[in-house]
Chains A and B, each alone.
Chain A
């Protein structure tokens, strides 16, 4: 074939090929072929399985269903079969499955080297160090627990007592302040909130739909009492400085400046007393004198309340059959006992304390182990006091500190002096699931199995209305080299020759179940929540006098008030910001990498700042960079900042995202109760 003929043949071939599906189908096949490349992630397929258990990272102990595919945890969902939540879920509980695989998980035991870096060691070596350090420290050791609702606290506490120490502490929580208030007013057990049976709930400062107490249960109760196709059966009133998630759904919002919750509570008590309520109560004469200063004028001045709404609420409380007044801080902790004491007193004046739909005196948890500290003793220990005294040289620092899922460096204000306290302790050991700020300063960091990888429980979390117990069971093998901290401590005790009276964690939980009357095997299988109707009678309660009078003398901030806003979606001090939560952080919480400070137009005008302006918020304790966002659902003179930002450790999903609001707040001591308070800070807005 001559050259011209060959070219024609080739041209014909090209046209024929183009006219056939050969090229086009090959292109599609190539696209599918690319999906076989080795670096492309593969789905691990298998049968779906749902296991009922409970969230260990959500402080409210939300019941969950864990979905597994082919034995691998895929996600967590609400459990419709559990009558505590009826399928409700909090953002923290929703992230629990994802957190199993997050980058910040501690994968292997880590030992700090002399140069400050960490090197991986074997568990055998880590156990040897644990034994050596514990034996050397003897009674000079302390323990900080980040999980207030677990029966494992009895195990850790018993271990500490066996070593000769009583220095057992909890991370900041509202539970300690509430139970102090409860005890001071004659409560024999723990305070419970019977929200289910109440027909009028006044929440003073407590963000019950977002971060206070048993959030999933609270939301369920709201849903059931506020049907869309029928009249509501409960009225929810929220008193707070901002239209947060509770305020926006409540039936009435009473704007109240932050830090004045106790004053409002006392004002309510005064109004009730003036209407003849509580005449037969013991100590009513003295109490009447205490509440006298809290007039409507004072409430207007100090709390910024609207008198009409205040009177509407008083009428609502008086007309309701089963009213309930409860109090808390917007921070979820650090609010002191005074607001809660005032709320208890209001319930007493209404004649409802201890009745259905009100505050209930729930049984005091009994010890699972003989050696463990009694519940009230353990919860009375004050870490801020301990830390400050060590920092000031007034107390000898322990030689050894254990931290269990606790991140005090992040979760406490600077002047709690946790850093100085840690610096003064010879050796620090952290059992943690994640690489948090405190673990990064410890000498030995041990990978702790997470709640979905271990046996654990949730025993009557704060905010419950009844004694309840939910077993947490392992739904997956611990990832990497993580081990359940409880089992490590039991093994350590055996090595040291200490008899804790328990052979493994399930045995401990069996004894808890037995103690409250639950069938362990039954609840292991069904994953539901066991509840009892046990409660103490309310004969022992008395109106507060001297201590409350003293507590009310605590300093109230003036000027611009700082309102911390806690949302579970942004994680917790011990988890950091869960990766998926990055998608739900709104631009009124975090703008690019700057924390957002929300205020209304009038406040902005007074401060001469505009929407989008970058400024500093300053207190005596420190400063943070923020960007201003205008929001009219907030009181004049109040700046709201979302808590949970500003991590310096964990992973890329947490680091470099805003500033930690606790760098602004400062601890002071509540007069009378001696409790640390830090949720009522004043703040300066500095331009430039």
Chain B
């Protein structure tokens, strides 16, 4: 009688494990698809129009970030330099670099605006108003000086760290939205804006809609 009961118990356990099999299989396939395959399927990889080398410009030409990326007097931000700004040095080739020669031939000589072609990794929709003037190093480091030792650290909080790249990172465009994979989403904004410590004091940044959505 005891043996019979033991056998019945083993059969029940075995069938329970076997019964979970389809569930686990479905979960595993969906998880792998959701974590790995789906993001790849949704992303289209694009190249920048010119293989701009930040390292060369900083280390060999002695340029600084602010030479191209700077706040204008009216508070607007110069993010991507214009063809005219590049042509201040590259009106004619100054190296034998094929990319420089191609850039001059295709953009400088033809008067094509590189700024219009450049793919902006953090491009936001028009309904989002982000002010670089408000998110400045002097303000943020009043409290977060341990996070941002240099202005570049602060830039890298949102932007890809391109200063150390010799070729621009691949631009990953979402096939559905058409925006960059690196475009900042609202939870990232809210990490600061929804934090009551930022509501007054030096930042005075609330989470009210019109703070960012004009």
Contact = CB atoms under 8 A, between A and B. Distances in A.
B26 A33 contact: no
Contact of A16 (B19, B26, B176, B179): B26
Contacts of B26: 8-16
Given A22-B33, A30-B176, A32-B183, A47 B82 contact: yes
Given A35-B126, A47-B82, A29 B177 contact: yes
Interface string A10-29: 11111111011111011011
B72 A15 contact: no
A50 B72 CA distance: 12
Given A14-B30, A29-B42, A9 B76 contact: no
A301 interface: no
Nearest to A30: B176
B25 A9 contact: yes
A16 B34 contact: yes
Given A22-B34, A32-B125, A15 B183 contact: no
Contacts of A42: 126
Contacts of B61: none
Contacts of B177: 29-30, 32-33, 35-36
B31 interface: yes
A5 interface: yes
Nearest to B127: A35
Given A16-B34, A26-B176, A32-B174, A8 B23 contact: yes
A43 B34 CA distance: 35
Given A29-B42, A29-B177, A35-B127, A12 B30 contact: yes
B72 A16 contact: no
Interface in A299-355: none
Contacts of A16: 26-34
Nearest to A6: B22
Interface in B13-28: 19-28
A230 interface: no
Contact of A41 (B126, B183, B185): B126
Contact of B178 (A5, A28, A36): A36
B125 A35 contact: yes
Contacts of B59: none
A617 to B, nearest CB: 38
B179 A43 contact: no
A21 B19 contact: no
Contacts of A12: 22-30
A428 interface: no
A20 B31 contact: yes
B49 interface: no
B209 to A, nearest CB: 14
B35 interface: yes
Given A14-B30, A32-B183, A42-B126, A22 B38 contact: yes
Contacts of A10: 26
Contacts of B32: 16
B29 A33 contact: no
Contacts of B82: 47
Nearest to B75: A48
Contacts of A6: 22
Nearest to A35: B125
A261 to B, nearest CB: 43
Nearest to A5: B22
A12 B33 CA distance: 13
Given A32-B125, A47-B82, A15 B76 contact: no
A38 to B, nearest CB: 13
A586 interface: no
Given A13-B27, A15-B27, A16-B31, A8 B22 contact: yes
B205 to A, nearest CB: 22
Nearest to A2: B22
B74 interface: yes
Interface in B114-138: 125-127
A668 interface: no
Contact of A19 (B31, B127, B176, B183): B31
B111 interface: no
Nearest to B36: A20
B39 interface: yes
Nearest to B20: A8
A67 interface: yes
Contacts of A13: 26-27, 29-30
Contacts of B126: 35, 40-43
Contacts of B27: 12-13, 15-16, 19
Interface string B56-79: 000000000000000010101000
A25 B182 CA distance: 12
Contacts of B20: 8
A22 B25 CA distance: 18
Given A13-B30, A20-B33, A41-B126, A32 B19 contact: no
Nearest to B177: A32
A20 B34 contact: yes
A32 to B, nearest CB: 4
Nearest to A26: B176
A26 B185 CA distance: 12
B178 A48 contact: no
A4 B29 CA distance: 18
Nearest to A77: B74
A26 B126 CA distance: 20
A6 to B, nearest CB: 7
Contacts of A36: 177-178
Given A29-B176, A29-B177, A20 B74 contact: no
Contacts of A47: 82
- The interface centre, meaning the residue of B31, B39, B76 with most chain A CB atoms within 10 A of its CB, is B31
B82 to A, nearest CB: 7
A1 B22 contact: yes
B22 A9 contact: yes
Interface in B155-214: 174, 176-179, 183, 185
Contacts of B125: 32, 35
Contact of A17 (B34, B74, B76, B127): B34
Contacts of A9: 22-23, 25-26
Contact of A67 (B21, B74, B174): B74
A30 B176 CA distance: 7
Nearest to A44: B126
B34 A21 contact: yes
Contact of B74 (A1, A14, A35, A48): A48
A50 B15 CA distance: 79
A469 B27 CA distance: 79
Contacts of B33: 16-17, 20, 22
A248 to B, nearest CB: 28
Contacts of B38: 20, 22
A322 B33 CA distance: 85
Nearest to A36: B178
- The interface centre, meaning the residue of A10, A29, A30, A40 with most chain B CB atoms within 10 A of its CB, is A29
B183 A8 contact: no
5 contacts: A22-B35, A22-B38, A30-B177, A32-B125, A43-B126
Ranked 3 nearest A-B pairs via Cβ: A20-B34, A16-B30, A12-B26
Interface of A: 1, 4-6, 8-17, 19-23, 25-26, 28-30, 32-33, 35-36, 40-43, 47-48, 50, 67
Given A13-B30, A29-B176, 13 more contacts: A1-B22, A5-B19, A8-B26, A12-B30, A17-B30, A17-B34, A19-B27, A23-B34, A32-B125, A32-B174, A32-B178, A33-B176, A35-B126
